[in-house]
């Protein structure tokens, strides 16, 4: 059996995040529909558009390294999305729902940030200049989304979740 290389690991992880992004495309509309705060709904809708761009960038990365764009089942993202669906079900109609949606969305963002950061570092090491640029653009967008969700939670959503229902 041939020894696995960093290039193999890069390609394998690229397939993982490609699968994850495509699953996120399915989850975001559900989260937007479930969100009660208009600003949170808008944030999910905005990130849906960005995620479509992330998938396109990943396709460009596959092309840049001469590989076919394909996904590989990502158990981690499936679990994170399942947790988000559980929150939507368990907290539906409560003032706490939006806080739960933000926590679920940030779990997704943090997963993506780690994946894109790692892929970018490996692309640099492997000399994939075009991939570095594409991965960095997505990494920056994921970080901005995470920051925006934190701000939304801290300025409105968490306080609303804490209020007692009469």
Give domain status of residue 1, yes or no.
no
Taking the C-alpha atoms of residue 105 and residue 28, their distance in angstroms, rounded to an integer, is: 9
Q: Which domain holds residue 110?
A: 6-161
Give domain status of residue 132, yes or no.
yes
pLDDT tens digits, 29-54:
999 999 999 999 999 999 999 999 99
- Which pTM was predicted? 0.93
- Determine the average pLDDT of the residues in 109-130: 98
State CA 50 to chain mean position distance: 10
CATH number at residue 89: 1.20.1260.10
| Pick from 141, 18, 36, 24: nearest CA to 84 | 24
């Amino acid at each position: 059996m041939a020894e696995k290389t960093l290039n193999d690991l890069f390609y394998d992880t690229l397939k993982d995040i490609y699968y994850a992004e495509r699953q996120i495309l399915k989850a975001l509309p559900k989260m937007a529909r479930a969100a009660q705060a208009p600003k949170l709904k808008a944030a999910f809708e905005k990130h849906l558009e960005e995620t479509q761009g992330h998938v396109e960038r990943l396709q460009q990365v596959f092309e840049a390294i001469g590989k076919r764009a394909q996904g590989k089942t990502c158990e981690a993202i499936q679990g994170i999305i399942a947790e988000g669906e559980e929150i939507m079900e368990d907290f539906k109609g409560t003032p706490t729902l939006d806080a739960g949606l933000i926590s679920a969305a940030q779990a997704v963002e943090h997963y993506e940030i780690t994946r894109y950061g790692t892929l970018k570092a490996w692309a640099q090491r492997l000399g994939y200049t075009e991939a570095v640029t594409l991965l960095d653009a997505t990494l920056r967008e994921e970080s901005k989304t995470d920051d925006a969700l934190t701000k939304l939670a801290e300025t409105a959503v968490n306080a609303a979740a804490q209020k007692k229902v009469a």
